Structure 1
Amino acid sequence: MRDDKLLTRIGGLLRQAEGTDNEHEAQAFLAAAQRLATASSIDLAVARDHDPALRKRQTPLSRQIVIGTAGKRGLRTYVQLFVHIGRANDLTCDVASNSTYVIAYGYEADIDAVETLYASLVVQMVAASDAYLKSGAYKQETAQQVVTRDYGPWRRRVVEEKALSPITARLNFQSAFADRIGARLLEARDQQRDEAVRAEADAGSAGSTPPSTAVALRNKELEVTDFHRRESTARGSWRPSRASAGYSSAARRAGDHAGRRAKIGADREFGAPRGALEP
C-alpha cells in the first residue's frame, strides 16, 4: 500500500536540504529523510510480524525502474547510486546487462521511498559532475589504466598513466559520489535502527512487553531474500566496476566531496528516459 503522506514528508525534508546554503544543515535534512523512511519501515515490519492478516496483505514485490537509454555513457554509475540507496532501504536489486534498468525486490513502501530519494540524488550527482568538468580542474590530472602490451613473445598487463579525459573524470566522479551517498544513508539508517532497539529495551525495562524490532527486521530481511531467490532470473551478483577508461584518484576525491555536500531537492526530476541481467 502506497503511503503518499510519508513520501510527501520525505520530499519536504529533501527540499529543505536544497533550500539551505549551510552544508551541515543540508546533510542533516538528508539524514532526516533517510531516518524517516527507516522509522516507517520498522513500524511496518513490526506490525506485519504481529498481525497475520496484515502479513498476508503486505508481501514483497518486484518493480522495474528505468535508469536510462541504451548507449548512454555512465549508466553504471546511475545504477550504482540506485543500488546504494536500495541497500540502505532493505531492497535487493538485479541489474540489466546494459545498465538501462534495475529490478528492485522488496516491500512497496520501501521501493517508493528509494525512488523518491533517487529522483533527487541522481540529478544532484549529474549536476555536480557537470560543474566539476566545467571547472576544468580535471585537466591537470592523470588516470591509471590497465593495458595489455606485447614484449616479444610475451603479453603482459601493465598499468599506464595518461591524461585524464572528460569521460574518465565523469565516471570516477560519479562513482565516488554514489559511494559517499550510500555511506551517508547507511549511517542514518543504522542510527535510526539503533534508536528503535534502545527505545524498545527502555520500554521493556519499564515493565511493558513491546514487539521485538530486531526479530521483525530479521524476518523482513529473510522474506525479501526468499522472494528474490524465487523470482529472480539473474545470474550471479552485480558489482560496480571502476571506470574501464581508467582510475583517477583526483576525480574520485572530487566526487566524494560532492557526495558529502549534496543538497537534494525532491521536486526535481531526472529527465532522461529511464532492458538479459548482469552476470
Structure 2
Amino acid sequence: MASTDQPVDELVAEAVARVAGAQPGGLEYVVDGAASLLAASADRWPGVSRALLGVAERAVGRCWAAGWQPADLVRVARRELGPVQVALAVDLIAAEGRRHPAAALDRRWREQVRELDARPWWPSDEAFLPEFAARHRLDRFALATAALELLRAWALLPPVQPVGPVPGQSAPRASEPRSGEPRMLGRIRALLAKAESTGFPDEAEALTAKAQELMARHSIDEALLAAGGGRSADDPAAVRIGVDNPYEGPKTMLLDAVAAANRCRVVWAKEFGFCTVVGFDADLDAVELLYTSLLVQATAAMHRAGSRKHKDGAARTKAFRQSFLVAYAARIRERLAEATERATEEAAAGRPDGAGSGAGDGAGPDGGPLPAVPAGGLLPVLAARAEAVDDAVGKMFPKLVSQRVRVSDGEGWVEGRAAADRASLHRGSGRIAR
C-alpha cells in the first residue's frame, strides 16, 4: 500500500498503475483510495503536479505509438467521462506536445492540435494542478480523481490502425500541400459557410452543389498533376472523423455518401465512435469540409421537422429522426454523385490531350495553368486512383463486414428525402464497411 511518506514520483506512478489495473467491480474503491493519497498533502501537491504530468506524457506517448491521435483521445474522454476530463485531456496532450517541434508534425496532426487549442498555458509543471483546480473550481481530491479516471481510460485503449505519421517517429508526408490553403479550398469553404447560414433552402442547395463540383474539379486537377509529373506521386492516406450518438448509423451513412462522391472509402469503428476515411489528400480535405457542413444542415432540418407533431398528434419519435437522417443521407448520395459525374464529364470533354483550357475558371488548384490530360485520357487516371484506394483499404482493414442501417418510420423517410432535396445535394446499397 502506498503512503504519503513515499517519494512523490513513486507515489504518483503507483497510484496511476493501481487504478489502471483495477477490476471494474472494485474500481470506485481503488480510485478513491489512490486519489486520497495524491490529494492528502497541500505541501506535496506541486510535486504531485509535476510527477503526474510526467506520467501523463508517457501515457500519451504510448497512445500515439498504438495508433491514436489527439482528437481521438479527447473523444474518448468525452464519450466515457465528463467535461473536466475533456479539459484535462486537452492539457495533457499539450504537455506531451512540448516534446515535438511543430515543423516535425504531420499537417493533419497540427490541425487537430490547433482545433483542440492544445497549448501549455501553465507557468510551470508544479503549478499545473493548482492552476487547473482554480480554473475549474475543483478541490484536490476531485481533480486527482478526474486525472486517474482519464489515465485509466487511455491505458485501456487497444491498438488501432494508424492513419498518419506519429510525432517523433516519422517525417511529414513528402507530398503534403505547401503552406497555405489552395485558392480552390478557400472558395469551397466560403460556399459551404453560406449554405449553412442561409435561410433559403434553394440557395443552400445551389451553394452546396457548386461546392461539390469545385471539389470534384480540384480532385481532378490534383490527379492530373500527379499523373503528368507536375507533382510528386503520392499514395492514399487516411483520416479519422468522429461519429457519435445519437443516430450514429445515419451519420455514418452521410459520411459514406460524401466519401463515395469524392472517391474515398469509409470504415466505421462503431465501438470507438469514429470512421476512418481512406483516399488521396485532396479528396480527404474535401470529405472533411463537406461532411461537416452537411451534418450541420441535416441536423438543423431534422430538428425543424422533429419539433412538430405527427398527424395523429403524437410527438416525433427517435424512429422518425433515425429514418429522417437515413433518407437524407440516401438522397444526398444521389445528388453528390450527380454533381461529381457532371464535373468529371465536363473536365474530360473540355480538356483534350495536352490542352490547358477548359474546366472552371481557367486555373489549376493553386491558381496556375490547368494540368494537361495524359494521352490515355482522364478516366484511366481516376480509375487508377480508385484502385489504389481500394488496395489501401484492403491492406489497412483486411477483415471487414457490412452494416445495414434500417428504417422504421415511413413519414421520417419521406421528410428526410424532402429535406435533402431542399437543403443541399452512386447510388449505393446503404452498406457501410466495418
Q: How would you bin the TM-score normalised by the shorter chain?
A: 0.7 to 0.9
* CA apart distance, 1:220: 0.8
CA shift in 2, pair 1:210/1:131, >3 Å: closer
Aligned to 1:135: 308
Aligned to 2:255: 82
CA shift in 2, pair 1:135/1:53, >3 Å: closer
* CA apart distance, 1:123: 1.5
Within the alignment, does 1:11 sit opposite 2:172 as a pair? no
CA shift in 2, pair 1:201/1:252, >3 Å: same
Aligned to 2:328: 177
How far does the alpha carbon of each residue in 1:215-249 deviate from its partner, in whole angstroms, 9 at most, with x for none? 1111111111111111224423x344114xxx222
- Check conservation: 1:173, 1:254, Cα contact below 8 A: yes
CA shift in 2, pair 1:109/1:191, >3 Å: same
Structure 1 runs not aligned, ≥5 long: 142-162, 265-276
Identity of matched residues, %: 27
Say which SS state the counterpart of residue 54 (structure 1) adopts.
Answer: coil
Distance 1:86 1:94 in 2: 11
Select which of 192, 205, 210 maps to 1:32: 210
Say which SS state the counterpart of residue 183 (structure 1) adopts.
Answer: helix
Within the alignment, does 1:257 sit opposite 2:257 as a pair? no
Within the alignment, does 1:241 sit opposite 2:408 as a pair? no
- TM-score of the superposition, structure 1-length normalised? 0.75
Distance 1:93 1:190 in 2: 20
Distance 1:42 1:62 in 2: 19
Structure 2 runs not aligned, ≥5 long: 1-175, 358-371, 426-431
Q: Which amino acid aligns with 1:67?
A: V
- Check conservation: 2:216, 2:344, Cα contact below 8 A: yes
**Residue correspondence of structure 1 range 83-232 to structure 2 within 5 A:** 83-98=256-271, 100-136=273-309, 138=310, 140=312, 166-201=317-352, 210-211=373-374, 212-232=377-397
How far does the alpha carbon of each residue in 1:77-97 deviate from its partner, in whole angstroms, 9 at most, with x for none? 111110100000010111113
Distance 2:270 2:194 in 1: 36
* CA apart distance, 1:52: 8.5
CA shift in 2, pair 1:50/1:192, >3 Å: same
Question: Aligned pair count?
Answer: 233
Distance 1:131 1:16 in 2: 19
How far does the alpha carbon of each residue in 1:104-162 deviate from its partner, in whole angstroms, 9 at most, with x for none? 111111111111111111111112111111111x3539xxxxxxxxxxxxxxxxxxxxx
Say which SS state the counterpart of residue 93 (structure 1) adopts.
Answer: strand
- Check conservation: 1:235, 1:278, Cα contact below 8 A: yes
- Check conservation: 2:306, 2:316, Cα contact below 8 A: no
- Check conservation: 2:213, 2:339, Cα contact below 8 A: yes
* CA apart distance, 1:50: 2.2
* CA apart distance, 1:63: 1.6
Distance 1:96 1:24 in 2: 35
Distance 2:208 2:240 in 1: 25
Within the alignment, does 1:63 sit opposite 2:239 as a pair? yes
Greater mean deviation of Cα atoms: 21-30 or 117-126: 21-30
Say which SS state the counterpart of residue 232 (structure 2) adopts.
Answer: helix
Distance 1:166 1:99 in 2: 26
Say which SS state the counterpart of residue 59 (structure 1) adopts.
Answer: coil
When the two chains are superposed, the root-mean-square deviation of aligned CA atoms in Å is 2.7
Distance 1:263 1:196 in 2: 23
Q: Which amino acid aligns with 2:406?
A: R
Greater mean deviation of Cα atoms: 22-31 or 6-15: 22-31
Distance 1:175 1:103 in 2: 20
